[in-house]
Chain A
Amino acid sequence: MVIPAAVRSEIAEHARAELPNEACGLLLLEDDVAVEYVPGENASPTPYYFELRLDPVVWADLGDRDVEQAVVHSHVSSPPRPSRTDVERIGLWQGLPYVIYSVRLDELAAWRIADGAIEPLPLAS
């Protein structure tokens, strides 16, 4: 998966703007290359939790475009590795790209979570 520097800095900027809470949004991918970051609203704003909220019509329209979606959220201080909460709440996102940005470490990482297992996705810029 490729996240170009410009998209990466949009994710980082959004995550810093939401401090002290976690930020979340959607990344749109074409052929495994991130082409756009859509910042979402954290409907449960705390430093340890996120609940992604986007306008439902906007999100449904994104689903009709020929792009793949990846959920993005920030960890305020912990490393960008899925937590138990992330694994438990993966729900319908099972098996799809899942991106985490650590604000404190300024690190971005991509994962795939399925059947309770966490698999890293190689990331390039």
Chain B
Amino acid sequence: MTVVRIPPTLRSEVGGARQVEADGDTVREVLDDLVERHPALAPQILQNGGIAPFVNVYVGGEDVRTLDGLDTSVADGETVILLPAMAGGASRPWAPPVAASLLELVGSTPLVELPRLAPKPAVKLYAKLEGQNPTGSIKDRVAKAMVEDAEASGELQPGRALLEPTSGNTGIALALVARLKGYPLTCVLPENATPERKRLLRLYGAEIVLSPAAEGSNGAVRLALELAESDPRWFVPFQYANDANPRAHYEGTGAEIAEALDRVDVLVAGLGTGGTLMGAGERLRETFPDLVVAAAEPLPGDPVMGLRSLDDGYVPPILDVSKLDRKVLVSNEESVAAVRDLLRLEGVFGGVSSGAALAVACRLAAELDEGVVVTVLADGGWKYLSADFWDADDEGLAASMERTVWW
């Protein structure tokens, strides 16, 4: 015979008793016998063939979820303890009316409905405007999280310097964080990166090391890792393999969307490092279990700036492809058409990767009869102003895309 201790929150289901008896050699048998004797307990402690989410079951002082679950053995005379599982939390940081530093203004970005782009009235389309972060992109979240994570672990201390292979938004975001926290930053980028990129990085205070144009972004990674090995002063955050990247989206981007909306059916984000899809996807799936997490992926050989085709051979270590429900290919031309529509119809000035995410979001929204689709727009269009697709006519668009070398 086993004694089962009942918490006050469940005593009304057992006639007020503090403990009751049940029989069995395993937790499953004990709980089955328990609900047979006290049927009112059943929905509270067993759900879908497992232990209900809001109850913890302990045998020998251990949570059986950390042992063998329902198969955990229960010795005769042993006590089983039921307790409420209590969890919660603030979900999102609250923004003070006056910020002590620009770093406090990272995240908590607006979510705006895009009714003119939604394919049908019963499908709501929302965009998370990450271009409203301090340096104008979602990478502010990642840069801040990676640096603060390394500071907290003691790996990054005064006297060290940051080194990151990037020609894009991550470099600019890291430059801001590094400057405000007093670390020097060096960015390694391919020598054919656009002059605007190099100028912006230098204005934010970053040093620049150029890698051979022919090796592309992989060459920048190679050179950065070589430099880091030659001098222990360097700390390389390396966003593709840094767990602080998806965590920033779990605790920030995803939690903010979960807090803002009562329903989300589809989350669409561009596939870059995978950080947004992994982190925000995981957080949103906790609140909306039937969520579809969809990656907007550029066609192989048709690069969309800031995004990555998995077929090009590099899978970022933080990306677990099995956690993506959909992977939708999108061409550069579609991305540009979508980003122009976004500006023309909704007044939102997005970057090219935002166009890719939006194009996929519209496609998936069209597949639904009703529901809520959220897409994450990673940056604004300002850094792409020199591109000539903005005002090209439709026929000229294809030609202008062919002329545009994105990296």
A interface residues with partner B (beta carbon < 8 Å): 22, 24, 44, 46-52, 55-57, 59-60, 63-64, 68-69, 71, 73, 75-79, 82-86, 88-93, 96, 104
Contact = CB atoms under 8 A, between A and B. Distances in A.
Nearest to A51: B87
Given A47-B251, A78-B92, A85-B88, A92 B10 contact: yes
Instruction: Name the residue among A75, A86, A88, A92 with the largest chain B CB count within 10 angstroms.
Output: A92
Contacts of B96: 77, 104
Interface in B97-154: none
Nearest to A46: B251
A49 B93 CA distance: 11
Question: Could you say which of A44, A56, A60, A93 has the most chain B C-beta atoms within 10 Å of its C-beta?
Answer: A56
A25 B44 CA distance: 23
A104 B81 CA distance: 36
B88 A82 contact: yes
Contacts of B9: 92-93, 96
B88 A83 contact: yes
B35 to A, nearest CB: 16
A51 B8 CA distance: 19
Nearest to A43: B87
Nearest to A113: B88
Contacts of B88: 49-50, 73, 82-83, 85-86, 89-90
B90 interface: yes
Interface of B: 5, 7-10, 18, 44, 53-56, 58, 61, 63, 81, 83-94, 96, 251, 255, 258-259, 287
Contact of A79 (B10, B83, B94, B255): B94
B181 to A, nearest CB: 16
Residue in B83, B88, B287 whose Cβ sees the most chain A Cβ within 10 Å: B88
A92 B45 CA distance: 10
Contacts, number: 119
B90 A89 contact: no
B187 to A, nearest CB: 28
B396 to A, nearest CB: 47
Contacts of B5: 60, 63
Contact of B90 (A51, A78, A90): A78
Given A83-B259, A93-B84, A96-B9, A48 B54 contact: no
Contacts of A64: 18
27 contacts: A22-B89, A48-B251, A49-B87, A50-B87, A50-B89, A52-B86, A52-B87, A56-B63, A56-B81, A57-B81, A59-B7, A63-B8, A69-B8, A71-B86, A75-B89, A75-B90, A77-B90, A77-B93, A78-B90, A78-B93, A78-B94, A79-B94, A83-B90, A85-B90, A91-B54, A91-B85, A92-B55
A47 B90 contact: yes
A84 B9 CA distance: 22
B128 to A, nearest CB: 16
Nearest to A22: B89
Contacts of A86: 88-89, 91
Contacts of B55: 91-92
B93 A84 contact: no
B91 A76 contact: no
A100 B128 CA distance: 29
A22 B84 contact: no
B284 to A, nearest CB: 12
